[in-house]
Amino acid sequence: MFVTRFAPSPTGPLHLGHAYSAILAHDMARAAGGLFLLRMEDTDLERSKPEYDALIQEDLAWLGLTWDGPILRQSEHIARYNDCLETLVPKSLLYPCSCTRSDIRAALAAPQEGVAFSVYPGTCRHRTLASRQPGDALRLNLAAALDALSTANLSFQDTGPVHKGTHQIDRDQALARIGDVVLSRKGEDIVAYFLAAALDDAQQRVTHVIRGEDLFDFTPVQVILQHLFGLPTPVYHHHRLIRDDQGKRLAKRDDARAISKYRGEGATPADIRRMVGLPER
C-alpha cells in the first residue's frame, strides 16, 4: 500500500510552501488509495511550540486535508532513536565528539537554504567510545560505515520533477559532501533531524517520501542510515519549492505567507491551491 507523510517542524506557522507539500502528498496518497500520515518533527525542544502544533492541524483541516491514524510526535520517541543508535556501537561506527556546541547544534538542525552542509574535518575521529564524556556528540564514521556496506547497493529512486531517476551513492562523493555527520547529543536528548526522520519513515511504513527539493541533499545520508539499521529505502519524490517574489525559498519566519494569515483575510482553500500552482479539485 502507498503510504506517505507530511512532517512539519512545529517551530512556526505553515506557509504556502508547506501547503504545497502537504496538498501534494495528501492528493497522491488519496489518488493511490493509500495513507497520508502526519508527523510532528519536534525534536528541537527549544523552538518547537504546542501552539504551532495546534495551528498546523487547524491549517491542514482548513485546507481540507485529512490524515490517517494518530499524529507521531518525535519528542515522544527520543528513547527509541537512542536505542537504535546503540545498535551501531558494537559495529565501531560511532565516535564521541567534543567540538563546540554551536557547531553541533547547527549540524543537528534541519537544513536552511544558503547554509552549506559543512563537512566535519574529523578532529575527534581518533577517539574511542570509551572516552565519551557527558555532553559529547556521537558522530558516524562515514568511511567505516561505507566499508561495512556495499556501496553498489546504495541507491534510491526519485520520482519528482527535479531529480527524476535512480541515484547511486558514490563513496568519494559521500565522503566529500556528507562526511562524519552528528547523529545525537546524549544527555540533552537531541538527535539529528535526518536520523529521526529516516527511523520514523521505517517505523510508519512510509513507502513514498514526498518533500521539498531542499531536502534532496540529505537523502544519501538517510539511505546510508537505512542500510546500517537494516531498514527499507522508500521511493523519494522531491518537489519544487515555492519561492517568494525575490526567488528565495519561503522559511518559517515568512509569516507574511502564513496560511493562517491568508485564512484570516478571507482566502479560500481553492485560492491557496491556485497560488501554489496546483489544479483545482
Residues that bind ligand GLU (CB under 6 A): 7-9, 41, 110, 197, 211, 215
Answer left, alpha or beta for residue 187, where phi above 0 means left and psi between -120 and 50 means alpha.
Answer: left
Contact predicate 48/10, CB 8 Å: yes
Please, what is the minimum distance in Å from the beta carbon of residue 166 to ligand GLU? 20
- What number of H helices and E strands is found in the chain? 10, 11
Please, what is the minimum distance in Å from the beta carbon of residue 150 to ligand GLU? 25
Tell me how far apart the alpha carbons of residues 148 and 177 are, in angstroms, rounded to a whole number.
19
Kindly tell me the burial class for residue 122, based on how many C-beta atoms sit within 10 Å of its own C-beta (0-12, 13-18, 19 or more). middle
Please, what is the minimum distance in Å from the beta carbon of residue 194 to ligand GLU? 8
If the CB atoms of residues 171 and 249 are measured against ligand GLU, the closer one turns out to be 249
If the CB atoms of residues 97 and 242 are measured against ligand GLU, the closer one turns out to be 242
If the CB atoms of residues 42 and 180 are measured against ligand GLU, the closer one turns out to be 42
Please, what is the minimum distance in Å from the beta carbon of residue 85 to ligand GLU? 19
- Residue whose cell numbers read 511504513: 205
| 212 DSSP β-pair partners | 239
If the CB atoms of residues 8 and 13 are measured against ligand GLU, the closer one turns out to be 8
3-state DSSP assignment of residue 249: strand
If the CB atoms of residues 97 and 197 are measured against ligand GLU, the closer one turns out to be 197
If the CB atoms of residues 4 and 141 are measured against ligand GLU, the closer one turns out to be 4
Phi, psi for residue 96 in degrees, rounded to 5: -80, 150
If the CB atoms of residues 53 and 136 are measured against ligand GLU, the closer one turns out to be 53
* Rg of the chain over all Cα atoms, to the nearest angstrom: 19
Please, what is the minimum distance in Å from the beta carbon of residue 197 to ligand GLU? 4
If the CB atoms of residues 180 and 200 are measured against ligand GLU, the closer one turns out to be 200
One-letter amino acid of 1: M
Count of CA atoms in the C-beta half-sphere (13 A) of 43? 28
Please, what is the minimum distance in Å from the beta carbon of residue 25 to ligand GLU? 9
Please, what is the minimum distance in Å from the beta carbon of residue 269 to ligand GLU? 21
Sequence-ordered strand ranges (E) for the chain: 3-6, 35-40, 72-73, 94-97, 137-140, 155-158, 165-168, 182-185, 190-191, 208-212, 235-239
Residue 229's contacts (CB-CB under 8 Å, 6 or more residues apart) are 84, 87, 198, 199, 202
Please, what is the minimum distance in Å from the beta carbon of residue 149 to ligand GLU? 22
